[in-house]
Amino acid sequence: MASIKHIFNELHYEMIRTIAEGGMGVVYQAVQKGAGNFRKVVAVKLIREEYSTIPEFQSNFIGEARLVADLIHTNIVQTYHLGQIGGQYFMVMEFVNGVNLEQFLERHRAMNRPLPVDLAAFIVSRIARGLTYAHQKRDSEGRPLGIVHRDIGPKNIMLAYEGDVKLTDFGIAKALDLMYNEEGKVIAGKDEYLSPEQANYAVTDARADIFPLGIVLAELLLGHNIFRSTDRLESRQNILSLPIPQFGTLRSDINPKLEVILQRALQRDREDRYQTAYDVLNALEVYLYSDGYGPTNEKLGVYLKEVMGYREPGSAPSPAPA
């Protein structure tokens, strides 16, 4: 960290702390400094030093940055800049003051507390909203980019304390002319959050992001991923063949309308699944708001602060969620 701080000081970035670490990359919280005492909190993502000289990792990292550069949407973490220093590529990204969905779930498990059904549906509806934008994105010539995220899961969903829900990490996404892809030879994604076509080494389209949306929704409602096993191969096999339960029998406040959404999102044949992320978004919003009032960013923010024990510096305790 000391050497990283020194290197980035030259670029007017003050590295504050490590936010997340993966197999090939690290994300830091940093302060970008400018003229007139300008300061902006950002996230800086860079390839681990041991991978930074490998052309394949460099091209994937650059490809991710190029892909997300023009993805400007409230439900997607924005990327501001791609740079290189000391032989290492780095991305400067929007800093989300909050937690990822995995941390949120772990907190609920530790408290033995179920997440309210409406907030679970709301969180997934916001990710569906971000995916709708990404899936429909076109290049400057009007060609559909054909973006498929391929890595939808709790670690890649951020919850801001203000209540915003944001999708991040397009590191293994595929898109027209932008990302190298070996579908048919390798499996891209985490075993317990794959679509059946990913688990079967098939070529994917945007519908491959719908099945993991269903997995995440079920996990938020039940507190665990029904497909997860300690064995990676077994997790993939579960994706392909584990009987899909009637979720209302596992949690009594999952009503028939939400049951229909879960069952359709988790159809293994993609022809029977929701065909677009917009279809998922529409179904969830009809479910949430057809009776009038439903959850909002503000309600989620209040709940998130209360569950995570977050307090703004100098603020009074947050009220308990209604």
**Residues classed as catalytic:** 151
Judge whether 266 and 213 are in contact, CB under 8 Å.
no
Burial 40-70 (b: 16+ CB within 10 A, else e): eebbbbbbeeebbeeeebbebbbbbbebbee
Q: Which residues have CB under 8 Å from 1's CB, separation 6+?
A: 15, 18
In whole angstroms, give the CA distance from residue 144 to residue 136: 7
Q: Which amino acid is at 307?
A: V
